[in-house]
């Protein structure tokens, strides 16, 4: 009797174990993880070309590149190869017959701090932190999130947005529908152009820096502080320009900028007028606001 | 003489050197055409000082796609026939294509300067050689998010072009609006080229 009971208890335990195993959230059947490490100089070039997914790039002080890739489908494959000081990370399609969700490949790449990056991504997200090389991003719908990058930054998107926090160096960004957000930039040369997106700039204008922000139809918001020194030329053909900076007229030897007689515009200098700030839009609103006052609202 | 007749004469005779007396008279009387003439001279003067234009890389891809589609080139055969030491097809045609790119931009500038008069009627937008917007799906945009991005962006630019065209018609002397319109045309051309290029890579 006792043996029979023990057998029954054992069977129940086995069934329960099988049940638990079946219920456990398993890794996708076709998930693939690849990890590769490359020895480079302290300033390699890393090129990433991906169709869809997240690309996260971090930095360290070692002369090597670590690539960790995850892709869900057998219909894609990841190539991570090295040619001299360049590392290429490319997602290939194995077949033409592929569903959108099968395109996805996620990357986490660690690079030397001074690395140059060339990132091409159609959809998803790119996040880069603490990289000080020449950075180029080319995306369609993918958003770009940059923290504390420096040197040269070039971003082109179709509808993807850009968030740039404490970015330094020369910055050139363009998009059709993407929004741009610059928070505490340390750049003395910034140029941002978007057709329908919005532009937000909250930072100090560097002395003798040049800032060109242009949105054809979207809103441009610029926050300045009392200690900033800049000359402003803000004009919108069909939109409004709201300005809280008490501008002085340009000095007499300077000619005012050429402007359309149809536009709404402000121009003049604030404090010594050291930085040059050019804000333009066709039909969007431009708001130039004092930082403290803007925070109180 | 009307403005359009002057334009025809400019195409055949060049910039004012061999213009007819009627054209010269028209230039004296028409502020619009004299402005255009001044712009063309400025372009000619500036272009003489340029060494070599470098169009965007994606232009080569889109032009190649177009030429392949029209059967003008077959790259595979060219690779077999061409000796190894011979410059590639693209290196050989680059100067011509660079000139073509500049010509397209120049034509757009002239077109904006001449066609958008207060009396001209709005019509369907025909871009550079009648290029129609490509279908993103047909170009390999397998991801619906990507296809939607292209489609939405083309709509955004087209809407902006219409807005600028309307403004230029209503305010023919608004140079800033003309510049925005010119930028919008260039942006559309760039977007179409990028769409075709993206459809081709990485697979």
Q: What is the predicted ipTM?
A: 0.80
Higher-pLDDT residue of A198 and A292 is: A198
pLDDT of residue B94: 45
pLDDT of residue B29: 83
Among A11-25, A100-114, B23-37, the range of highest mean pLDDT: A100-114
State the pLDDT confidence band at A90, using cuts at 50, 70 and 90: very high
pLDDT over 80 at A278, yes or no: yes
Q: Which of A49, A98, A263 sits opposite B142 (nearest CB)?
A: A98
Element at B182 (helix H, strand E)? helix B175-200
CA dist list (Å): B111 to A93, A101, B90, B174, B178: 43, 44, 29, 15, 11
Q: Does B177 touch chain A (CB under 8 A)?
A: yes
Q: Do A112 and A130 form a contact (C-beta atoms < 8 A)?
A: no
pLDDT of residue B46: 62
Q: What is the DSSP letter of B17?
A: T
d(CA A225, CA A16): 66
Kindly report the three-state secondary structure assignment for every residue of A164-208: EECCEEEEEEEECCCCEEEECCEEEEEEEEECCCCEEEECCCCCC
CA dist list (Å): A140 to A109, A154, A215, B197: 21, 14, 18, 12
d(CA B17, CA A183): 55
d(CA A34, CA B41): 60
Read off the pLDDT of residues B153-174 as tens digits, 9 standing for 90 and up. 999 999 999 999 999 999 888 8
| Residue A163 CB-density burial (10 A; 0-12 exposed, 13-18 middle, 19+ buried) | middle
Q: Does B180 touch chain A (CB under 8 A)?
A: yes
Phi, psi (degrees; rounded to nearest 5) at A133 = -100, -160
Considering only CA atoms, which of A215, A199, A200 is closest in space to residue A284? A215
Q: Tokens for A174, please give them.
A: 């363009």
Q: Does B169 touch chain A (CB under 8 A)?
A: no
Considering only CA atoms, which of A172, A199, A201 is closest in space to residue A185? A201
Q: Does B200 touch chain A (CB under 8 A)?
A: no
CB atoms within 10 A of CB A77: 16
Lowest mean pLDDT among A54-63, A202-211, A253-262, B96-105: B96-105
Average per-residue pLDDT for chain A = 88
Kindly report the three-state secondary structure assignment for every residue of B80-142: HHCCCCCCCHHHHHHHHHHHHHHHHHHHHHHHHHHHCCCCCCCCCCCEHHHECCCCCCCCCCC
> Across the interface, do B177 and A96 touch by the CB < 8 Å criterion?
no
Grouping H, G, I as helix, E, B as strand and the rest as coil, residue A100 is helix
Contacts of residue A250, defined as CB under 8 A and 6 or more positions apart, other chains included, come to A231, A256, A267, A268, A269, A273
State the pLDDT confidence band at A29, using cuts at 50, 70 and 90: very low
Predicted TM-score (pTM) of the model is 0.70
Element at A36 (helix H, strand E)? strand A32-39
d(CA B167, CA A290): 33
Considering only CA atoms, which of A175, A198, A195, A173 is closest in space to residue B164? A195
Higher-pLDDT residue of A208 and A97 is: A208
Rounded to the nearest angstrom, the minimum Cα separation between A197 and chain B is: 10
- B55-63, Cβ contacts within 8 angstroms, sequence gap of 24 or more: B55/B97, B55/B98, B55/B101, B56/B190, B56/B193, B58/B190, B58/B193, B58/B194, B58/B197, B59/B97, B59/B101, B59/B193, B60/B90, B60/B94, B60/B97, B61/B193, B61/B196, B61/B197, B61/B200, B62/B192, B62/B193, B62/B196, B62/B197, B63/B97
Q: What average pLDDT does this structure show over A139-148? A: 97
Query: Best mutation site among B141, B180, B191 for testing chain A: the one with the most A CBs within 10 Å?
Result: B180
Q: Do B56 and B189 form a contact (C-beta atoms < 8 A)?
A: no
Higher-pLDDT residue of A9 and B141 is: B141
Q: Which of B146, B167, B191 sits opposite A122 (nearest CB)?
A: B146
Q: Does B145 touch chain A (CB under 8 A)?
A: yes
State the pLDDT confidence band at B37, using cuts at 50, 70 and 90: confident
Q: Which of B142, B175, B183 sits opposite A100 (nearest CB)?
A: B142
HSE toward the beta carbon, residue A27, CA cutoff 13 A: 9
> Across the interface, do B143 and A122 touch by the CB < 8 Å criterion?
yes
Q: Which of A123, A159, A262 sits opposite B153 (nearest CB)?
A: A159
Which residue is closest to B148 within chain A, CA to CA? Answer: A141
Read off the pLDDT of residues A165-188 as tens digits, 9 standing for 90 and up. 999 999 999 999 999 999 999 999
Q: Which of B142, B145, B183 sits opposite A141 (nearest CB)?
A: B145
Q: Tokens for A17, please give them.
A: 């174990």
pLDDT over 70 at B72, yes or no: no
Query: Which of chain B's residues have a Cβ under 8 Å away from the Cβ of A160?
Result: 149
Read off the pLDDT of residues A215-227 as tens digits, 9 standing for 90 and up. 999 999 999 999 9
How far, rounded to the nearest angstrom, does the alpha carbon of residue A159 sit from its chain's CA centroid?
12
Q: Tokens for A243, please give them.
A: 């300005």
pLDDT over 90 at B88, yes or no: no
């Amino acid at each position: 009797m006792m043996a029979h009971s023990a057998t029954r208890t054992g069977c129940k335990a086995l069934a329960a174990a099988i049940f638990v195993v079946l219920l456990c959230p398993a890794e996708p059947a076709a998930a693939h993880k690849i990890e590769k490490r490359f020895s480079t100089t302290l300033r390699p070039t890393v090129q990433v070309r991906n169709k869809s997914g997240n690309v996260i790039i971090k930095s360290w002080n070692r002369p090597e590149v670590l690539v960790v890739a995850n892709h869900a489908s057998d219909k894609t494959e990841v190539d991570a190869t090295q040619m001299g000081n360049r590392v290429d990370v490319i997602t290939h399609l194995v077949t033409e017959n592929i569903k959108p969700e099968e395109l996805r490949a996620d990357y986490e790449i660690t690079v030397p701090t001074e690395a140059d990056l060339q990132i091409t991504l159609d959809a998803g997200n790119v996040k880069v932190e603490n990289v000080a090389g020449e950075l180029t991003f080319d995306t369609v719908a993918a958003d770009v999130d940059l923290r504390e990058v420096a040197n040269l930054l070039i971003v082109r998107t179709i509808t993807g947005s850009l968030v740039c926090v404490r970015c330094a160096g020369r910055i050139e960004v363009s998009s059709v529908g993407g929004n741009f957000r610059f928070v505490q930039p340390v750049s003395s040369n910034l140029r941002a152009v978007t057709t329908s997106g919005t532009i937000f700039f909250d930072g100090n204008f560097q002395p003798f820096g040049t800032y060109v922000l242009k949105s054809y139809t979207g809103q441009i918001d610029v926050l300045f502080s009392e200690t900033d020194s800049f000359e402003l030329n803000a004009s919108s053909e069909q939109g409004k320009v709201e300005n809280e900076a008490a501008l002085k007229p340009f000095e007499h030897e300077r000619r005012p900028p050429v402007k359309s007689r149809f536009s709404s515009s402000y121009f003049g200098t604030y404090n010594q007028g050291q930085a040059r700030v050019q804000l333009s839009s066709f039909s969007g609103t431009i708001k130039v606001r004092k930082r403290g006052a803007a925070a109180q609202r | 003489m009307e403005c359009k007749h002057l334009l025809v004469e400019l195409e055949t005779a060049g910039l004012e050197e061999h213009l007819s007396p009627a054209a010269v008279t028209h230039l004296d009387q028409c502020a619009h055409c004299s402005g255009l003439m001044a712009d063309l001279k400025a372009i000619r003067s500036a272009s003489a000082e340029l060494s070599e234009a470098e169009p965007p890389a994606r232009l080569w891809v889109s032009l190649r796609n177009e030429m392949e589609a029209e059967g003008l080139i077959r790259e595979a055969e060219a690779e077999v026939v061409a000796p190894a030491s011979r410059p590639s097809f693209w290196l050989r045609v680059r100067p011509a294509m660079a000139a073509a790119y500049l010509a397209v931009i120049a034509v757009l500038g002239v077109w904006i300067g001449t066609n958008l008069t207060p009396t001209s009627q709005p019509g369907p937008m025909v871009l550079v050689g009648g290029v129609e917007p490509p279908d993103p799906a047909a170009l390999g945009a397998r991801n619906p998010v990507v296809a939607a991005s292209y489609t939405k962006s083309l709509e955004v630019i087209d809407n902006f072009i219409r807005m600028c065209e309307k403004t230029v018609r209503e305010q023919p002397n608004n140079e800033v609006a003309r510049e925005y319109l010119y930028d919008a045309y260039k942006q559309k051309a760039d977007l179409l080229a990028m769409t075709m290029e993206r459809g081709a890579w990485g697979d």
